[in-house]
Amino acid sequence: MNGNKPVVYINEEKCRNAYTCVRVCPVNAIEVRPQKAHPVILPDKCVGCGLCYTSCSAGAVEFRDSRSEVKALLESGRKTAALVAPSIASEFEDITDYRKFVGMLRALGFNYVHEDSFGVDLVAREYASLFEKAKGKYFITANCPVIVKMIEKYYPGLVNNLAPIVSPMAATAMVARDLYGPDVATVFIGPCIDAKDEKNLYSSGSLVDSVLTFIELRELFEEAGIQERTVSMSEFDPPHGNWGALYPLPAGIIQAAGIKRDIVTSSIITASGKEEVLEGLHDFDLYVDYILHHFNLFFCHGCLLGPGMINHNERFRRRALVRKYAQKRVNLLDKKKWEDDMKRWSKLDLSRSFSPDDQRVPDPPEEAINEVLHILRKGEKEENMNCTACGYRSCREFAITVAKGLAVPEMCHTYNMRNKQEYIETLRQTNRKLAETKKALKESEEAALKEKEAAQSASDMLNSMLEKLPSGVVIVDSNLKIMHSNQSFINIAGEDALSIAEVVPGLAGADLKSLFPFNIYNMFTFVIREDQPVLGKDVRFGERMLNISIFPIKKNKICGAVIRDIFSPEVHSEEVTARISEVIDKNLEMVQKIGFLLGEGASETEQMLNSIIESYRKIKALQEQKKQ
């Protein structure tokens, strides 16, 4: 069902990238890479301690859910035994009597309910024997699955120092199988998340069929509607345990073994919690020949604060709850029956073995570490604050982890603060530049508006001046379509042009070929095609004689023309000719003024005016030659 799922994993939909999980991981088993949106727990490196689960405020870290697996077992028809850790005293203080708790388990569907304390007693006796026969070899207890994984993966040289004894969970499961036969299904219920992986280590996973945390058990009670007030009291099935009920306390198994705990004479050191365990393994690895003690290690502060419990605080109050529960159970115990039970199941083979699974990553080269320190701006010794806010003991240790690709610089508090300040300053400068750019843009818009208004004014003036010219002026494109013309041209073109002009001002878009015969519009075609002017050409048009000058404006695309009706009264005498010359001079002056107003950017209209000016100059020069 969930066997292939890691015991602990990150739900990316819930993850907020706070990196708390990365900071608390004792073995750097959570990878943070820039190309990945969220941290990732590496199953091969994970030891299942559950610190990431208990520290994630967003609830993004989850553990393998066994509820469906257990419900399937309860509904399968197989006889099913619940193996309950004595930590119930710490977790289920809301249930007034442990016998009510047992009744709730039976109501859930379990045929048998055993307390794990008897398995603790069996294992404790094995430890007493092992330590007595050690003869100079020192051991580390193997009751905590997290400790076992940590040694196999990160202290493989200490594998031979792991006590070759099964955990109390496995011992209790062996007793249940011996009582009810190999077909009985066993479900361990306790505070440990990593026990879900530990069950797979025994007899290919068949010794313990499933593992429920106390959190999951509460959820099953709620789903089934089982409450203390709805069930009858029931006692645990025998065999009952003795001082194994103290197992939730770190030194509980030592007391259950009857081993002296005197500081001077005891040969065992007990340590619990992340910091003590990491320091203990370090010292055992390097200095065991000097320390000369066995180590009893629990990664949590005892099994009374495991990650599979609802609460993970008030350690000393919970310690008192366990002590009172154990005292009550021991007071009710039939010691003679317990001795007989211990003798009966002493035949069980409680031995086990371990295998190194080295997951250590070699430290990166010094150059890579220094490069990370430089990025973090901690290259100088005085810059290494070692504030530990990143979750690592020193800036160098954090830099090594970053260089290994398991963390990112953004996890450094001072690096983030510095980047934040630099970002704020950059943002401030950007805003200032943006304000300056906005101001310049506004000024540019105002200047452009003024230029547009000036150009419009000049254009209006140009059109007004063109309309006042006595000669016809027209501009056409390569298709002989009229682009612009003045009123004099429209008058010369005749009635059709006047009719069109009433609808289309300036004859814009009208076809020149529809207004003039072939011999006239063919001259326009020639000028556009050859890019050569036609000057002072006299052409008959109806009853009129037109003097036409055509000039290229835009090569092969646009040309302009000045057309005069030479049959008009003004051309009949030299005096009239002189007056025309005078008018031409004035027109030229006017056109030049227009060009000045328009400036250098007036484009096609300006080119047309220049062509007109040039044509008038050439016409005047021809007239001067005729006079001579």
Structure letter (DSSP) for residue 188: E
Neighbours of 181 (CB within 10 A): 9
Q: List, in order, residues 6 or more apart from 130 with CB less than 8 Å away.
A: 139, 163, 164, 165
Torsion angles phi and psi, residue 80, rounded to 5: -130, 130
* Residue 104: half-sphere exposure toward Cβ, Cα within 13 Å: 24
Q: Tens digits of per-residue pLDDT, 269-307? A: 999 999 999 999 999 999 999 999 999 999 999 898 999
Per-residue tokens: 1: 């069902």
Which pLDDT value is given to residue 411?
73
Regarding predicted confidence, which is higher, 236 or 385? 236
Q: Are 356 and 155 in contact (CB under 8 A)?
A: no
Regarding predicted confidence, which is higher, 426 or 227? 227
Q: Are 71 and 39 in contact (CB under 8 A)?
A: no
Which pLDDT value is given to residue 575?
38
Give CA separation, 584 vs 111, 478, 564, 577, in Å.
123, 28, 12, 10
Q: Are 473 and 489 in contact (CB under 8 A)?
A: yes
Which pLDDT value is given to residue 403?
77
Closest CA to 193 of 300, 115, 316, 94: 300
Q: If 0-12 CB within 10 Å is exposed, 13-18 middle and 19+ buried, where does residue 271 land?
A: buried
Distance, in Å, from the CA atom of 40 to the CA atom of 33, rounded to the nearest integer, reads 9
Predicted confidence band at 580 (pLDDT cuts at 50, 70, 90)? low
**Residues linked to residue 268 through DSSP beta bridges, in sequence order:** 294
Angle at which helix 117-132 crosses helix 335-344, to 10 degrees, equals 70
Domain annotation for the chain: domains and CATH numbers: 1-64 (3.30.70.20), 65-346 (no CATH), 366-411 (no CATH), 469-627 (3.30.450.20)
Neighbours of 555 (CB within 10 A): 9
Rounded to the nearest 10 degrees, how much is the dihedral formed by the CA atoms of 238, 105, 83, 320? -90
> Where are any strands of DSSP class E within 462-515?
472-477, 482-485
What average pLDDT score do residues 170-196 get? 95
Q: Tens digits of per-residue pLDDT, 139-164? A: 999 999 999 999 999 999 999 999 99
Predicted confidence band at 601 (pLDDT cuts at 50, 70, 90)? very low
Residue 126 belongs to what H/E stretch?
helix 117-132
Regarding predicted confidence, which is higher, 529 or 434? 529
Regarding predicted confidence, which is higher, 119 or 545? 119
What average pLDDT score do residues 481-502 get? 89
Q: Is the pLDDT of residue 592 over 60?
A: no
Which pLDDT value is given to residue 428?
77
Neighbours of 212 (CB within 10 A): 25
Residue 281 belongs to what H/E stretch?
helix 274-291
Letter string b/e over residues 458-496, b meaning 16 or more CB atoms within 10 A of that residue's CB = beeebbebbeebebbbbbbbeebebbbbbbbbbebbeee
* Residue 438: half-sphere exposure toward Cβ, Cα within 13 Å: 6
Q: Quick check: pTM over 0.75?
A: no
Predicted confidence band at 569 (pLDDT cuts at 50, 70, 90)? low
Which pLDDT value is given to residue 602?
45
Q: Is the pLDDT of residue 599 over 70?
A: no
Which pLDDT value is given to residue 51?
95
Per-residue tokens: 270: 């007990």
Helix, strand, coil percentages for the chain (3-state, nearest 5): 55, 15, 35
Predicted confidence band at 615 (pLDDT cuts at 50, 70, 90)? low
Residue 554 belongs to what H/E stretch?
strand 544-554
Predicted confidence band at 201 (pLDDT cuts at 50, 70, 90)? confident
Look-up: residue for tokens 């075609």? Answer: 525
Which pLDDT value is given to residue 600?
46
Which pLDDT value is given to residue 448?
80
Distance, in Å, from the CA atom of 591 to the CA atom of 479, rounded to the nearest integer, reads 27
Distance, in Å, from the CA atom of 208 to the CA atom of 189, rounded to the nearest integer, reads 11
Which pLDDT value is given to residue 604?
53
Regarding predicted confidence, which is higher, 382 or 455? 455
Mean per-residue pLDDT over the chain, rounded = 85
Which pLDDT value is given to residue 572?
45
Q: What is the 3-state secondary structure (H, E, C) of 311-364?
A: CCCCHHHHHHHHHHHHHHHHHHCCHHHHHHHHHHHHHCCCECCCCCCCCCCCCC
Predicted confidence band at 475 (pLDDT cuts at 50, 70, 90)? very high
- At 230 the three-state DSSP class reads helix
Predicted confidence band at 363 (pLDDT cuts at 50, 70, 90)? confident
Per-residue tokens: 52: 């990431």
List, in sequence order, the alpha helices (H) in 181-256: 195-198, 214-224, 252-256
Q: Tens digits of per-residue pLDDT, 293-351? A: 999 999 999 898 999 999 888 889 999 999 999 999 999 999 999 999 999 999 999 99
What average pLDDT score do residues 70-84 get? 96
Which pLDDT value is given to residue 31?
86
What average pLDDT score do residues 374-399 get? 69
Q: Tens digits of per-residue pLDDT, 390-439? A: 767 778 778 887 877 777 777 776 776 666 666 676 777 888 888 888 88
